[in-house]
Amino acid sequence: MEPDVASREAAWMVPLLAFVVTLLGGAAVGLIMWVVNRAIAIALQFRADVLARLDKQDNEQAAQRDEQVAQRGILSEIKDLLRDEINRLRQQLSSHGHRISRLEEKNGIYQRRYDDQDTGD
């Protein structure tokens, strides 16, 4: 081959080679961008999942704390009601105790009278 023929053949091959290299470079860049975008999407999804899980745990803990506070409030109210009822029952018992002692005194007097009648004194 003559140098002119070789240079003509090389002349049309250079643009073709440049075009192929550009296409391959563009494809490589596109593939790299797709991989990077996919990695970013996966990382963002993972972050969102972790934050959602943490938020759910926080909400559950807050709900448990609220429930415990409510239970403590209910128990405190029950304790107050029981204390009031115990005090009321103590007062009734004390009142009944006084009545019983008066009745016993009265009954003792009647019993003595009854005993006096039996003996004829």
Tell me the DSSP string of 38-101. Answer: HHHHHHHHHHHHHHHHHHHHHHHHHHHHHHHHHHHHHHHHHHHHHHHHHHHHHHHHHHHHHHHH
Say if residue 116's pLDDT is above 80.
no
pTM of the model: 0.47
Residue 61 pLDDT grade (very low, low, confident, very high; cuts 50, 70, 90):
very high
- How many percent of the chain have pLDDT more than 70? 86
Map residue 28 onto helix, strand or coil.
helix
- For the stretch 86-101, pLDDT in tens is 999 999 888 887 887 8
- pLDDT for 4 equals 75
- pLDDT for 118 equals 58
In this structure, which amino acid lies at residue 50? V
